[in-house]
Structure 1
Amino acid sequence: MIAHALTYEIMTPESVGRERSDLVLGKHSGRAGLARRSKELGFELCEAEIDQLYELFIDLADKKKEVYSDDLRMLIVGMYDKGFETYQLEQLRASGVDPTVALVKLRHGDEVTTETATGDGPVDAACVAIEKIVGITGRLEQFDIRATTPGKDALGEAYVTVRFGDRVYRGNGVSTDIVEAAIHAYLNAMNKHVAYLGSDKAAKACAGTAK
């Protein structure tokens, strides 16, 4: 049954104007669906690798309501490139107006890098600083934020859509500070693109073990 897309998709991607589906099967869909989706992403996994990926996928699915292709790709990259590390926000400061100056400190493995940049507001300035550290430039296409808890110290959850060349990623971040939430979201999208850039290496490793 898994061979037919309508078994697990309510509608086809074409019916809503999309070229292909970004659907990732839910935690109860089984290993066959996960193997199929991995293959669509360019990874030929053997049975033992599917078992390993499935455990990671179930753990992630327990934490997230929606698991996208980018998330699955990062899981696979993490399996085959132990040297891959995402960038983590260590410090964020912003001050001034017209322009705003932001200081960003990121951790990448054991390395910590600090950079400053100016921009049109604290979010723009901090994003520029992140791009200077990582060496990749993105374009923020959508930015939404909402309060997730009531009260004076409410948590704000930011959602962004960022374009890197011909690829677009979703990112999300949570903080009591809306600027910090936005930067966590932008960094989340950036890390997904960094994972994609490393996926060729992971795919080759998968192909080698499958022979």
Structure 2
Amino acid sequence: MSKSKDQVIIFDTTLRDGEQSPGATMTFDEKLQVAALLDEMRVDVIEAGFPIASEGDFEAVSEIARRTEHSVIAGLARAIPGDIKRCGEAVKHAKRPRIHTFVSTSPIHLEFQMRKTQEEVLDIIHETVTLARSLCDDVEWSAMDATRTPLDYLARCVDAAIKAGATTINLPDTVGYTVPDEMRHLFVTMRENVANSDKAIFSAHCHNDLGMAVANSLAAIDGGVRQIECTINGLGERAGNAALEEIVMALKTRNDVLPYACNVKPELLTRASKLVAAVSSFPVQYNKAIVGRNAFAHESGIHQDGMLKNQETYEIMTPESVGVTKTSLVMGKHSGRNAFKSKLEDLGYELSDNAFQDAFVRFKALADRKKHIYDEDIEALVDEGIASAADRMKVVALTVIAGTMGPQTATLTLDIDGQQSTVQSVGNGPVDATFNAINALHPHEAKLALYDVHAVTEGTDAQAEVSVRLEDVETGRQVTGRSADPDTLVASAKAYIAALSKLEVKRMRGDATAPVKALAGAERRGP
């Protein structure tokens, strides 16, 4: 681990602070999976857990310590001898172990939580850091609620910790209270007023209660900090922590004003974000910086036009640099002609000027009525066969019998090319029975790839919006049909038929293997 003045150590605490988020508990195997990816990313320090918290946490930290190849493995311990010894046991198998111990220092914590005097806490720091150092050469000490601690007393605590053997001093903004100027001043003051401050690396751990965790972390670097504690997706207690991906990309993208380096491989950031979101069951907000679904998506016509001409017009980093395949031009009412033309080219269409103008007018009309414009919607605008195919097969009547007694039965009448046919089918549930009835009236080889239902509005009388995705087993081409109806089963039948109709038209059109082009040949540029 470099200690050069321009190197920032990335300390990831997703498996400890992140997992403390209510509802974000991870299984043993999930922790190992996340740790392995963090190690592959070259995260400098992985805080693997709180070994004293449970037997499961101890085992997870121990196993991560055994398996990790590159990262320092840290365990957290309160300023209690039993905690510290347990932590030492958990991390001892790591190639590079660390014990991270902490104690409160702010007046409000000392009075109401610790019920200790300042002098008693100084004694605790000396005893517990000394113990930790006897078990491990790499010891981090944290002053919990440091940003609400008087600076003169905080300096005494830092001095005591370094004298006792701490190699890293962490001064966290535990409750997300401070602002960037205060954070910078805090570390400048500590480094200037603690005589032996040069013997330890200073670290910042910022919470996001006021939305300033990343800004405070960057300000801390400017104040002399050379370790930043953060989490994937900003996961953490309350409003979360500073987001690792935002810290890393701020350093890489604005290296002109933040002339520091870090070891993390940015191309793995999106992969890490998706993994943590999956195992923690905490979805990433669409407009989340760096890793959000819309981080490289553009709907505004002005923005899309600029992107098609030069990506640097509206992107300060390339999507590939963080592991995203490519920029997404989201089609909607704000999209312009250039973006619509590029989308048609992606879908394999080449239209005359008149045909393109007609399709664009109809696209704009659809966008005013429909919030989400899918590729299939655009194909329907320009493929005359889609409309006729959708009309040739309609649901006339559907009756479904369901309940605990079983079997579930669907009686379906379809109008196919003007001729009505009825069939009764059974299935493993009412939806299965309905789809079996469709298959009986119109046999096919397509495979069901997705069935999704969600309520359009609130209440028990809400419309159900159903999406059905079918896959052509011969070509692998997939199409999606959608329908909304107050009756979920009716919506399901209509969506299935819509997808089946589209698949048949594509077979007739013979474009199942139409080439997919890159983003209008836009040149990939640096950030």
| Structure-1-length-normalised TM-score | 0.73
Asked if structure 2 preserves the Cα contact closer than 8 Å seen for 1:131 and 1:137, the reply is no
* Greater C-alpha Rg: 2
Any residues of structure 2 matched to 1:12-161 within 5 Å, and which? Answer: 12=319, 23=329, 25-78=331-384, 81=385, 84-86=388-390, 87-95=393-401, 98-161=406-469
- Note the residue ranges of structure 1 that are not aligned, 5 or more in a row: 202-211
Q: 1:85 to 1:172 in 2, by over 3 A?
A: closer
Report if aligned partners of 2:479, 2:503 keep a CA contact under 8 Å in 1: yes
More strand by share: 1
Q: Do the aligned partners of 1:92 and 1:105 also contact (CA within 8 Å) in 2? A: yes
- 8 Å contact from structure 1 (residues 24, 69) kept in 2: no
- CA deviation after TM superposition for structure 1 residue 151, in Å: 4.2
Superposed displacement of residue 127, structure 1: 0.9
- Asked if structure 2 preserves the Cα contact closer than 8 Å seen for 1:88 and 1:108, the reply is yes
Is 132-141 or 30-39 further displaced after alignment?
Answer: 132-141
2:488 to 150, 170, 178: 178
Distance in 2, Cα, partners of 1:175 & 1:125: 18
Contact 1:147-1:154 at 8 Å conserved across structures: yes
Change beyond 3 A, Cα 1:111–1:34: farther
Q: How far apart, in 1, do the equivalents of 2:437 and 2:344 lie? A: 34
Bigger relative contact order, structure 1 or 2 (CA pairs below 8 A, ≥6 apart): 1
Q: How big is each residue's C-alpha offset from its partner over 1:58-81, in whole Å with a ceiling of 9 and x where there is no partner?
A: 122122212122221122112xx4
Query: What fraction of aligned residue pairs are identical, expressed as a percent?
Result: 27
**Deviation string, structure 1 residues 167-186 (Cα, Å, up to 9, x no partner):** 23333322222222222332
Deviation at 1:54, TM superposition (A): 0.9
Deviations 1:139-184 (A, max 9, x none): 3343333333344533223334433321233333222222222223
Contact 1:22 1:69 in 2 (8 A): no
Moved more, 172-181 or 4-13: 4-13
1:68-104 per-residue CA deviation (whole Å, 9 max, x = no partner) reads 22221122112xx488321322211223665433222
Structure 2 residue runs without a partner (length 5+) = 1-305, 512-527
Task: Name the SS of the counterpart of 1:67 in structure 2.
Answer: coil
Could you say what secondary structure the match of 1:27 adopts? Answer: coil
CA distance in 2: counterparts of 1:133 and 1:14, whole angstroms: 50
> Structure 2 counterpart of 1:85, which letter?
A
CA contact 1:139–1:163 (8 Å) conserved in 2: yes
Q: TM-score, normalised by structure 2?
A: 0.33
Tell me the distance in 2 between the aligned counterparts of 1:198 and 1:25: 26
User: Which range moves more in the overlay, 20-29 or 124-133?
Assistant: 20-29
Q: What CA RMSD, in Å, does the superposition of the two structures yield over aligned residues? A: 3.4
Question: Is the Cα–Cα contact under 8 Å of residues 94 and 103 in structure 1 kept in the other structure?
Answer: yes
